[in-house]
Amino acid sequence: MSFASLGLSAPLLKAVAEQQYTTPSPIQQQAIPAVLSGRDVMAAAQTGTGKTAGFTLPILEQLSRGTPVKGNRVRALILTPTRELAAQVAESVAVYGKHLRLKSAVVFGGVKINPQMMKLRGGVDVLVATPGRLLDLYQQNAVRFDNIETFVLDEADRMLDMGFIHDIRKIIQLLPAKRQNLMFSATFSDPIRKLAKGLIHDPVEVSVTPSNSTAKTVAQYVYPVDKKQKPNLLLKLIEEQQWQQVLVFTKTKHGANRLTRFLDEAGVTAAAIHGNKSQGARTKALAGFKTGEVRALVATDIAARGLDIDQLPQVVNFELPNVAEDYVHRIGRTGRAGASGQAISLVCADESDLLGGIERLTRQTIERRLIEGFEPVHPLPENAQKPRGHSKRKPHHKSHKTDHPEHKDGQRAPAAHKPARRRRPRPKNAGQNNRGQ
């Protein structure tokens, strides 16, 4: 199948060819005609599947056929949970729309609002925004929504995780009733479905990977290791396996800083990226990582969300995430758009319950690999998926108190709606149904 057969016109086909995309990815094959049909679309797709082009290309196609935008108005609004993702989606809009005469802009918090107001003054065809800043701009009359033709909610699951639900509902109420709605999410939990009900009407449902499944092209391994040995093991792996570009996940901002210092001191150029860093520092770290100047990018979940680094070969979970779905997101950073990648988790005994949650969610037992000299004193169970009779319930309480995990991207309050994520004793047939956990 070719891009031309999907109904895109010459300026877009030219831009796609310039990106050297030869075939539309599965999500693009499904989403592009669905969006062009004008119907609402609900898509289950992880980052890395090509979903951004999946909605950007048909939106640009539709906009290029309509009438140009006027003062302070917007024709297509794309909401994303984080600044990084907003910036990357905006970049895609610019790249794919290069040969069209459409105006686009991106707005997010953490930077001055005035230049954004100026940019919006003449109106833009496509606006990419994070929810908080968009509402600020709206309240200051810098943007009007009455001409919105298409509304996209990107990474809806993450929006809810980050506590944006009220902002999203507010924004939706401000939109004109007649519009096309597109919703993208890696996972479809009950709260997402509830949100979708109020937003999407008679949608075309598009799905490329069953929700909560991990990308097939990613080889996954668990390296059992004692907690104290993790930094040294990571260093050994980076050096011996000669990883030139590795994205490392930690659970906390402080943990990210500590590990970055450790790697730097050991001679591996590293940079941390998390919500306490200024926008400038994050952009610089990401740019350095992309050019190869920075060998290890150490990130928290929220900050890493939406990072689009072409063909990232190596992802390491220095610590497992508290929320099993985040594992799926994390490893979605590698093996993108058909390229193969490797995701390695350094797991200590304290984390065996978290590992069990991940293995149940993704319905797999991840291969264990012991490294000589790093065999753990406190071993991991061979099959962490098995529900335990009496669970050790402590592992991450301590870190909650002393080293707060990052819940948010700057300004917004964390979601208070996730008590169900705390581990409960599981029934015998756990693993069949982890939805809404």
Residues 329-348 that bind ligand AMP (CB under 6 A): 336-337
Distance CA 157, CA 301 (A): 13
CB of 52 to ligand AMP, least distance (A): 3
Instruction: Tell me the site size for ligand AMP, rule CB under 6 A.
Output: 15
- Taking the least distance from each CB to ligand AMP, the nearer of 47 and 352 is 47
φ/ψ of 41, rounded to 5, equals -135, 135
- Taking the least distance from each CB to ligand AMP, the nearer of 28 and 180 is 28
Residues 35-64 that bind ligand AMP (CB under 6 A): 47-53
Residues 85-104 that bind ligand AMP (CB under 6 A): none
Among 310, 367, 373, 402, binds ligand AMP (CB under 6 A): 310
Distance CA 193, CA 421 (A): 17
Distance CA 15, CA 196 (A): 32
Among 8, 25, 32, 208, binds ligand AMP (CB under 6 A): 25
CB of 423 to ligand AMP, least distance (A): 31
DSSP 355-414: HHHHHHHHTS-PEE---TT---SSPPPS-TTSPPSS----TTHHHHHHSPBP--SSSSPP
Residue 21 interacts with ligand AMP (CB under 6 A): yes or no: yes
Determine contact, residues 108/19, Cβ cutoff 8 Å: no
CB of 130 to ligand AMP, least distance (A): 17
Residue 368 interacts with ligand AMP (CB under 6 A): yes or no: no
- Taking the least distance from each CB to ligand AMP, the nearer of 50 and 275 is 50
CB of 310 to ligand AMP, least distance (A): 5
CB of 9 to ligand AMP, least distance (A): 17
Tokens of 18: 């310039």
Distance CA 251, CA 233 (A): 17
Pick the closest to residue 326 from 410, 227, 216, 407 (CA basis): 407
Tokens of 427: 């029934």
CB of 46 to ligand AMP, least distance (A): 7
In the complex, the residues that contact ligand AMP under the rule CB under 6 A are 21, 24-25, 28, 47-53, 308, 310, 336-337
